[in-house]
Amino acid sequence: MTTFCLQIHPDRAPGLDMERVRSLCRLATTRRVLVERHSIVEGVEDADRGPHVNLMFDTAQPRALWDLLRSLFYEDSMVGPELATASLVMCEGEDGWDDYRVLHHFDPEVEIDEI
């Protein structure tokens, strides 16, 4: 099983409709073939990252789940552009979080990995 984390930094996009994001999250979880477990973890503000929300998804089909998350969240006309500038997506690698992969990052200078 592979865990994905879509981490949102609301301070980077003050107009981001978090209720719409949560609605898309609920839609993603209806795909039981892809999403085996899901949770939402609200992060407290800290000096390095500020407040953040982690949308966590577990799957046995990482490539298919990443395709779903991209289409649901980043191609959504209501929240996609803001999420692109206010979020990052990571997934576990072969050794769990010790060799995680960055699949999306709000900073265009960060190197993006392949699944």
Give mean pLDDT, residues 100-115: 94
Q: Among 1, 70, 80, which residue's Cα sits nearest to residue 34?
A: 1
Chain segment 45-81, per-residue pLDDT in tens = 665 667 899 999 999 999 999 999 999 999 999 999 9
Name the DSSP letter for residue 74.
I
Give CA–CA dist 15/7, Å, rounded: 17
3-state SS assignment for residue 81: helix
Answer whether 3's CB lies under 8 Å from 56's CB. yes
| Partner residues linked to 57 by β-bridges | 4, 38
Q: Which domains does the chain have, with CATH numbers?
A: 2-105 (3.30.70.100)
Chain segment 19-52, per-residue pLDDT in tens = 999 999 999 999 889 999 999 998 766 656 678 9
What the block records as the tokens of 90 is 């990571």
**Helix%, strand%, coil% for the chain, nearest 5:** 30, 35, 35
Give mean pLDDT, residues 73-93: 95
Q: What are phi and psi of 39, to 5 degrees?
A: -155, 160
Query: Per the confidence metrics, is the pTM higher than 0.75?
Result: yes
